[in-house]
Amino acid sequence: MLEKPIDPTNWVDDHGDVLYRFALLRVRDPHIAEDLVQETLISALEGLSRYKGGSSIQTWLVGILKHKIYDYFRKNAREISTAELSKLTDETEEEAVDRIQRSRGKGRQWGEDPHNLMENKEFWDVFTHCLDGLTPAFRQAFSLRELDGLKTDEICKILGITPTNLWVILHRARLRLRNCLDASWFGA
């Protein structure tokens, strides 16, 4: 049980930036991110009596926001056919396999420890730019898997796609991100 009442008057000041960045990284549209944060805060106010204090207010708000994002993805999702998937890339599967096989022998050098790279703001700026270059279907699937750590069945339910479609989408999203990072960060 909570020892003292929660005062939501400073939630926007205290947590608004974190919530907005969290939403923006996933939906990539500032207006939608703002709307999702507003919906989160409204839901939190309405459900304040259910907050038990087991986590920080910010963690609780992020949890609510995650569900708002998943609902947004679910509402805007549609089944993506294999034919549609082939239109979403400029490269055929055979061309992708050839390119990957040619690049395997080159051995990219990161130039620094991967842990340091993860803390590098410039890298994250480039990564965010590359993520922006993905189609919404690719970006949503990649975000749900890699940023939120959801399992295949959860992602398929949210996006309304089959596991096979998810695998293809994730594969192509990773290829595009790799190509963009190679060109924009690693200089390959």
For residue 102, which phi and psi values (nearest 5 degrees)?
A: -65, -35
Instruction: Please give the pLDDT value at position 69.
Output: 94
Mean pLDDT (the chain, rounded): 82
- Report field, pTM of the whole predicted structure over 0.75: no
pLDDT at 44 over 80: yes
Distance of CA 74 to the CA centre of its chain: 14
Domains of the chain, first to last: 8-76 (1.10.1740.10), 82-186 (1.10.10.10)
H-state helical runs in 88-181: 93-104, 114-118, 121-132, 136-142, 152-159, 163-181
State percent of the chain over pLDDT 90. 46
pLDDT digits (tens, 9 = 90+) for 124-170: 888 889 998 998 889 999 999 998 999 999 999 999 889 999 999 99
Its sign, for the CA torsion 4, 9, 13, 15, is positive
